[in-house]
Amino acid sequence: MATRPNMTLTRDEVHEFVRVLRAEMEKPAFIESVRAAALKEPIPTSPLELLLIYEKKQVEFLTNHNANRQQGAQNQQGSVEGSDIDGNAGDDTTASLTGARILEELKMAVTGYPDPETTSLIKAMCMVEESQLLTISATTPELQPLMGNHNCNDPSHSHSHSHDHGHSHSHGHCHGHGPSQEQMMMMQMAMQSLTPAMRTDMENIQRSIMSGQRLTPEQATKMRNIQMHTMAFMNTVKRFGRGGGTGTPPTAQ
């Protein structure tokens, strides 16, 4: 059984940060800021490099939000002397957290607070993130080569290598071993995240394969998009579900 990580954020604070971060991520301006940053810096050559840029924008937002949050708490404390607003606003623990550290704690939240509501909130945010990363890659000509970096025909072969320095790397390598129980569960979750149109496409493709027909170019493209969706979903869930990051340590600010 996995050991629960030591969380600085309370469960309620995790929920607060997840909700406000997801709301920010869903704004068109956030997506465009990621796209602009990706085109301004050296063009990403892998999905991981694009993810790092995406996370920088998440960190920037969390840093600003936490600063505004603490300022609001201080203003309230000034008018209500000695009170502890909301039970924790008077505590400067979260004030000392950087945006990078807050993001790392959100990645650990599923194991830190393994309850259905927390899991549901994190899962919903993961789905938004993986969908946006694919959208940015697909709709930006300079980033479209990233769509071809996954070569496995079976999305279950996407896996994670954990290292002793506290993070994991996700890969799309093909291996001969079958999927583990955990991978099977993640595959099921990923399939449930497919849109109705994708599910219909998948059923039609499966019927074609079962009948021995060759896939048309259009079907092959749809199959590839479905594979990309499921792999991106599983990679995102693994990062947040295991507390594994992209290898970006919290930076002192």
Half-sphere exposure of 183 (CA within 13 A, CB side): 13
**Which 8-state DSSP code applies to residue 148?**
G
Alpha carbon distance 31, 113 (integer Å) = 29
Partners of 169 in the β-ladder: 161
pLDDT in tens, the chain (253 residues): 557 788 999 999 999 999 999 999 989 899 999 999 999 878 999 888 999 999 999 999 999 999 988 877 666 666 555 544 444 444 556 767 899 999 999 988 988 998 999 988 988 888 788 778 877 887 788 888 886 654 433 333 333 333 333 333 333 333 333 445 565 566 667 777 788 888 888 778 777 765 666 777 787 788 778 877 777 777 777 777 655 444 443 344 3
Residues in the chain: 253
CB 241 within 8 A of CB 112: no
Tokens at 175, concatenated: 């291996």
Partners of 171 in the β-ladder: 159
**Which 8-state DSSP code applies to residue 175?**
-
> In a 3-state reduction of DSSP, which class is residue 15?
helix
How confident is the model at residue 144, as a pLDDT? 80
How confident is the model at residue 182, as a pLDDT? 62
Alpha carbon distance 9, 2 (integer Å) = 19
